[in-house]
Amino acid sequence: MNTDLSGYRKSYEKGELLLKDVSENPLELFQKWFHEVDRFFPDAEANAMTLSTIGLDGFPKSRVVLLKKFTYEGFIFYTNYLSEKGRAIAANPNVCLSFFWHGAERQIIIKGKAEKIAENLSDGYFESRPRGSQLGAMVSNQSEVVKDREELETKLKNLELEYEGKEIPRPDYWGGFIVKPVEIEFWQGRPNRLHDRIRCVLDADYNWIKQRLAP
């Protein structure tokens, strides 16, 4: 196999990013960009983000997960705590989140530490999920090897019968993580590959230090 992609070209011309555009708390710019993408690019699935962890085998691994809430404290997503990513976070809570919104020619890269959220918050979100998603969390021993698809479908049908007309409890191995940022980089595509990159680093006094980076 030999596929040459050197001819792929795209000129980024939809915006600019200046230091003055980034407020003292960069989470405010994250919120602004998120809502702009969500409004003007409705097919972009704005809350889809790449989560990178360091696995138990020592290799980094990235996968797309869905952001479910963000606050001034951090970014919340939900998963099976016993999954590959859950076990990786338990061993090393240093993670990276990345949003790439190609329609807006924007990217945000976030370094931070992940920790479990309070159980009552996980309970509240689990209760808000459709029943199918609730049962799906119970069906899947996430990241474990399964014999075939039929094994999952059979387990789902059995659980549907078991919980028919009943409230479905949140499994104690399923819940939320919050990623508390220590560094946030905003990337705006520009012509001639001279992209705008503004990095915000949290210092020891919890102040955000803004820096422009060369593209």
Q: Which of these, 198, 185, 188, lies nearest to 12 by C-alpha position?
A: 188
Distance of alpha carbon 79 from alpha carbon 85, whole angstroms? 8
Q: Where are the beta strands (DSSP E) in the chain?
A: 48-54, 60-66, 69-70, 75-80, 94-101, 106-116, 174-188, 196-202, 208-213
Q: Which residue has the tokens 């996968």?
A: 63
Distances from the Cα of 180 to the Cα of 43, 72, 94, 131, 143, angstroms: 28, 9, 10, 30, 25
Catalytic residue among 106, 149, 193, 199: 193
Q: Is there a catalytic annotation at residue 170? A: no
- Residues forming the active site: 193
